[in-house]
Structure 1
Amino acid sequence: MTLKVEGDPGYGSVSAGGRFADLDSSESVPLLIPDIQQRQHVWKPLNREELLKCAGGPGWKKFRSRLVLCFWIGWLIMLGTAIAIIIQTPRMESPSLHWWQRDVFYHLQPAHFMDADGDEVSRISRVSEQLPYLKSLGVGAVILEGLFQHDISPTNLTEIDRNLGTLVQFTQFITESRKAGVRVMLDLCELDLFEQKSGNDTDVWSGPSEHIQYSLRYWLEHGVSGFGICDTDAAFSAKTLMEWNVLMQEFNSQDDERILMVRQTDNTLPALNVSSIAVNGSLVELVIKSLIPASHHPLSPTEVAEAMEASLQMPQGDWPSWTVGGGVPWELHRAILVLIMTLPGTPIIKYGDEVSLVQDLDQPYQPLALFHSLSQSRAREEALHFGRFTFLSFNASMSPSSPNSTATPPLAFLRSWGCVHFLVLFNLGSEPHTLDPDWAPSLPEGGVFVTSTGLDRLGPVSLKSIKMQPHEAIVIKLFESDNS
């Protein structure tokens, strides 16, 4: 702002050399002096050209390189920490299983397959036609019983019963079973495999002859996966088992192992006169034991429950492979099927076990669907393959719906692997049972139904609200609370 002053020419004039001699008669005087330094520090946004010029400077390049370096160092630290946590965390390593530990065995007699159509098809060929059906059930091995006549001579062990088919048909059956992924086992139980010589006062068993060795080698060359004998046979001896084991080792390979199985007829196997090193080897890979003791009459539900409880409480060393054994009431057939498929050991299913002995007119295919459900669960669940077994006992809180009833008490056990538990419950009696809310406080409270004998239980479940129906078996998958 400038103030312009115009004075009178005569006003304020002084002589030369006076005080105002240098001033013009008319001049502009600035009243406000601008702050030049403040004006220079006013912030203004950079335009595109200025921004590109500054970004390419050495300061920005140094800052960006350090920022990227800090990012990668932090990322590597997090990666190393995660790897260390994974390595130090205890893991449940799945054991390597042999094929006879994974597969479901199916025990049948070719003589049961009758020529109903009258087309003169051999029984061996009838069995061959069932291979796709057996594979659909999850069966991995077939045990053929009754293939040889009981009065067969040891020299004719390569000849099968002519009423079942020819040798050519049987070798063709082995070939087709191999293609279908089903192994074939030959049951030699109760066959006279030894030559008998007459002594002075007693009969002398000469032991396995060269003809038996030749016969076993013959079937092994044709693709048979092993043989079965009884613990009461004369062949069940340390010497014979060693000789047979050496023979089968010749045909073993990494993908095709041959085995010897023994059917146990008593509570324990007879002792073998052999060192512990040999016994702990692989003289017998598979031991089959009947879950229900043999009886001349069908057992009652109470007797079946007592037999089951005795088997479940046996010492848990090397679990045998289970088969049903004695007669079971038809109303317990499905519950026993659940038991066989969920116990430790290889399940041995007899011909017809996958279907009910007495068909339900309303649901005729229910037992077959139950077998499918159990087979699929066992195939994909590690806990049902090699999980540890825990027998669960019930106390007095487990009571039937009728106060004065003498119903059969329920049974239960647990299969566990890692954080996953399979709870298997059985009510073999004719009275419903309601579980007390505090019957198993150490178990996870919730889970999901896997299957049941009625195939009518689905979805999530709480252990505090289960009411078991008569003759029912239930399989429940439980999870730990922090992994549910």
Structure 2
Amino acid sequence: MPLNARVTGYGSVASPGLSTGATGSDSAPLLIPQPEPPPQWQPLTKEELEVAAGGAGWRRARHYLVLLFWLTWLAMLATAIAVIVMSPRPVETPLKWWQKTLFYRLERDVLTEKQADASEGVDALGEHLQYLKSLGIGALILEGQFEKKASHLTLNGTKRFGPQIDNLLAESVKADFKVLLDVCDLDLMGPQNADKTSNLSAKEHYALRIWLEQGVAGFVICDTDAAYSEKTLLEWKGVFKEFSSTDNERIVMLKETKEVPPAVKFFSHINITLVDAFMRSLLPSSQHLLSAKEVAEAIETHLQTGEDEIWLSWTVGGKASRHLMKLLLVLVMTLPGSPVVWLDEDIDQAQNVSLNVGSSHGDPNKSPELYKDEGKKHSASALFTTLSHTRAREEALLFGSFTYLPFNSSSSNSTLPFRPSSPILAFLRTWGCVQFLVLLNIGSKPHALAPTWAPHLPKAGVFVANTGMARLGSTTLDTLELRPHEAILIKLFEAGSYS
């Protein structure tokens, strides 16, 4: 075979997509040529950077902008610090013991002869004091322990109940209780010293020293007593200083009995500064149960009264229905000042009731009415305990500011904006960012809050206490409806935050 003979299929590959020429000598190369490598990255030179950045002038402008940014940031930080430092902040006022203590009016019937006969009577009295202390009570006011004809505060007028008072004072010292003696309407000065300008005799000084040595923390007098005079109170204060200390200061509490407007009374007596606390009744004295309208008008009169120059101690005073008494309890415990309460049988017997409930649960011989009564007593005890403990730990309820919130401020027919169709009262206790709202429905019908009422208040809140102790959890003022004769204590907070 010739060397140049053409053999089909060997040595060459037909070029794809191209037709074979006449000679048949066109063929595709066996190796594909490699593409040229891309140029390598090189950093810009200084001249190129200045050109890209706009030149040296733009570089100086950037430096000025950075400096301006940091100066602005420092100025904002300094302004924020100055606002925080210079903004008014609530200052906690140091309170005396009687300004942060819950007072309990203890009547003569509690000190029965059985409690003073044997040692078990004293033990029962000590257990009773411990139970009162568990409720949050820190001071006792003994009422009706002296006969009105007794003078000079001597023990001669307390022959029947003298041992009980001695045992009570001894047990109160053990339980860390304060005891005050109510000596209203007693002829303390004696017939020979009826003139207010007279000085105390040696007997009065001796009697005061005897009671103070036994641990009495102070006395309650009336504004009609002969002892309510500048000279007498100055002499009392002189004796008190000998027995007072920083933690155990002896006080004089004045009880309001005259039907005189508070403003007139406060500014008409120069000796009011010698009294440590002023006991004021929410309701006027009456022989019959006050109606809802009378109760609302009496409460609103006190709520609209400005702040007084003396520390107030609130008590219920007059007569009202059982439903309104729970409402008044919430009011007394949330007003500025020291509450003076009297425990009814539902609260005073709650200790025994709790034991009975635990031991007789499921007893088939027990009537449903008895279970219902025990449930009411447990609710009353829970309400009182919640209010006392909340007041003890919340600064807003102890010394926070007070703001009355009227519902019908546009009413011009009467000096009081109370209307029988809307017997709703409210006020606010504020301390810093903490706000407590107190709502009182004195009427016998449910009442919903208007959406436009108090638009400046936060709408969200959480229930703290209410007369029925049946409300729990969070709430909003727009959807809240007050039940008949209901009082509600709500802690407000902004939406999305918790305080």
Q: TM-score range by the shorter chain?
A: 0.7 to 0.9
Task: Report the counterpart of residue 294 of structure 1 in structure 2.
Answer: 285
Task: Report the counterpart of residue 333 of structure 2 in structure 1.
Answer: 341
Aligned pair partner of 2:444 in 430, 441, 460:
430
Task: Report the counterpart of residue 308 of structure 1 in structure 2.
Answer: 299
Q: Over residues 180-199 of structure 1, what are the superposed CA-to-partner deviations in whole Å (9 max), with x where a residue is unaligned?
A: 1211111111111122249x
> Aligned equivalents of 1:370 and 1:88: distance in 2?
41
- Structure 1 alignment gaps of length 5 or more: 1-76, 399-404
Note if contact 1:420-1:480 (Cα within 8 Å) is conserved in structure 2: no
- Cα distance, 1:163 vs. partner? 2.3
Task: Report the counterpart of residue 193 of structure 1 in structure 2.
Answer: 188
1:163 equivalent in alignment to 2:133:
no
> Aligned equivalents of 2:220 and 2:137: distance in 1?
18
Aligned pair partner of 1:377 in 363, 374, 390:
390
Letter in structure 2 aligned against 1:369 = A
- Cα distance, 1:443 vs. partner? 0.4
- Cα distance change on mapping 1:112 and 1:223 into 2, 3 Å: closer
Aligned pair partner of 1:147 in 133, 145, 148:
145
- Cα distance, 1:365 vs. partner? 1.6
- Cα distance change on mapping 1:415 and 1:354 into 2, 3 Å: farther
Task: Report the counterpart of residue 256 of structure 2 in structure 1.
Answer: 264
Letter in structure 1 aligned against 2:134 = S
> Aligned equivalents of 1:226 and 1:118: distance in 2?
23
- Cα distance, 1:409 vs. partner? 1.5
Aligned pair partner of 2:202 in 200, 210, 230:
210
Note if contact 1:237-1:272 (Cα within 8 Å) is conserved in structure 2: no
- Cα distance change on mapping 1:375 and 1:434 into 2, 3 Å: same
1:92 equivalent in alignment to 2:90:
yes
Secondary structure of 1:131's match?
helix
Task: Report the counterpart of residue 43 of structure 2 in structure 1.
Answer: none
Q: Over residues 297-348 of structure 1, what are the superposed CA-to-partner deviations in whole Å (9 max), with x where a residue is unaligned?
A: 1101111111111111112223521100010111111111000000011000
> Aligned equivalents of 2:390 and 2:116: distance in 1?
39
> Aligned equivalents of 1:233 and 1:87: distance in 2?
50
Note if contact 1:238-1:272 (Cα within 8 Å) is conserved in structure 2: no
Q: Over residues 64-106 of structure 1, what are the superposed CA-to-partner deviations in whole Å (9 max), with x where a residue is unaligned?
A: xxxxxxxxxxxxx9xx989888655643221100000001000
Q: Over residues 334-374 of structure 1, what are the superposed CA-to-partner deviations in whole Å (9 max), with x where a residue is unaligned?
A: 11100000001100012428739999635332111100010
Mapping 1:471-482, distance limit 5 Å: 471-480=485-494
Note if contact 1:195-1:209 (Cα within 8 Å) is conserved in structure 2: no
Mapping 1:60-459, distance limit 5 Å: 87-88=85-86, 90-114=88-112, 127-154=125-152, 157-159=154-156, 161-166=158-163, 170-197=165-192, 206-266=198-258, 267-268=261-262, 270=265, 279-280=272-273, 283-318=274-309, 320-352=312-344, 355=347, 361=373, 362-395=375-408, 406-459=420-473
Letter in structure 1 aligned against 2:398 = H
Secondary structure of 1:234's match?
coil
Instruction: Give the structure with the higher percent helix.
Output: 2
Secondary structure of 1:385's match?
helix
- Cα distance, 1:111 vs. partner? 2.8
Letter in structure 1 aligned against 2:99 = Q
- Cα distance, 1:216 vs. partner? 0.4
TM-score, length-scaled by structure 2: 0.71
Note if contact 1:227-1:259 (Cα within 8 Å) is conserved in structure 2: yes
Larger mean Cα displacement after TM superposition, 452-461 or 188-197: 188-197
- Cα distance, 1:175 vs. partner? 2.9
Note if contact 1:419-1:480 (Cα within 8 Å) is conserved in structure 2: no
Structure 1 segments of 4+ aligned residues over 6 angstroms from their partners: 80-86, 116-125, 271-274, 356-359
Task: Report the counterpart of residue 70 of structure 1 in structure 2.
Answer: none
Q: Which is higher, the Rg of structure 1 or of structure 2?
A: 1
> Aligned equivalents of 2:458 and 2:489: distance in 1?
14
Note if contact 2:460-2:477 (Cα within 8 Å) is conserved in structure 1: yes
- Cα distance, 1:432 vs. partner? 0.6
- Cα distance change on mapping 1:248 and 1:482 into 2, 3 Å: farther
TM-score, length-scaled by structure 1: 0.73
Note if contact 1:140-1:183 (Cα within 8 Å) is conserved in structure 2: yes
Instruction: Give the structure with the higher percent strand.
Output: 1
- Cα distance change on mapping 1:170 and 1:94 into 2, 3 Å: same
Note if contact 2:114-2:121 (Cα within 8 Å) is conserved in structure 1: no
Letter in structure 1 aligned against 2:456 = S
Note if contact 2:103-2:137 (Cα within 8 Å) is conserved in structure 1: yes
Aligned pair partner of 1:460 in 450, 466, 474:
474
Letter in structure 1 aligned against 2:143 = E
Secondary structure of 2:326's match?
helix
Letter in structure 1 aligned against 2:149 = D
- Structure 2 alignment gaps of length 5 or more: 1-73, 350-368, 412-418
- Cα distance change on mapping 1:423 and 1:274 into 2, 3 Å: closer
- Cα distance, 1:434 vs. partner? 1.0
Q: Calculate percent identity across the aligned residue pairs.
A: 46
> Aligned equivalents of 2:345 and 2:407: distance in 1?
29
- Cα distance, 1:254 vs. partner? 1.2
Q: Over residues 113-150 of structure 1, what are the superposed CA-to-partner deviations in whole Å (9 max), with x where a residue is unaligned?
A: 44579977898875444110110111110011122221
Mapping 1:48-67, distance limit 5 Å: none
Larger mean Cα displacement after TM superposition, 108-117 or 213-222: 108-117
